[in-house]
């Protein structure tokens, strides 16, 4: 099962909203994934590189993080949400 980390600035509101929307979508698609949320502050290289995918509310500019990152702001705004969800689905299933 793929491990997906959902991150936002404080690891509270935005990541919770993104995680809930992502969980609903994955359930509808019958896709299993281990979802976890965190703040950008706790996103150390080791912690993040232990995941298969990161969905972030903003661009992550950390050269030590090698895990693929998808900016998931569309899950918050609704703008481009389907495109973001398709990218996440493709990353999880690959």
**8 a catalytic residue:** yes
CA dihedral 63, 51, 46, 60 (to 10 degrees): 30
Q: From the candidates 4, 5, 7, 8, which is the catalytic residue?
A: 8
Query: What is the per-residue burial (b if ≥16 Cβ within 10 Å, else e) of 9-45?
Result: eebeebbebbbebbeebbeeeeeebebebbebeebee
DSSP-based helix, strand, coil % in the chain, nearest 5: 45, 20, 35
The set of catalytic residues is 8
């Amino acid at each position: 099962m793929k491990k997906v980390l959902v991150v936002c600035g404080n690891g509270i509101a935005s990541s919770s909203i993104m995680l809930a929307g992502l969980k609903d979508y994955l359930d509808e698609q019958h896709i299993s994934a281990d979802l976890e949320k965190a703040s950008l502050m706790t996103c150390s290289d080791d912690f993040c590189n232990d995941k298969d995918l990161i969905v972030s509310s903003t661009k992550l500019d950390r050269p030590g993080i090698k895990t693929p990152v998808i900016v998931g702001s569309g899950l918050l705004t609704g703008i481009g949400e389907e495109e973001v969800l398709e990218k996440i689905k493709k990353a999880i299933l690959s």
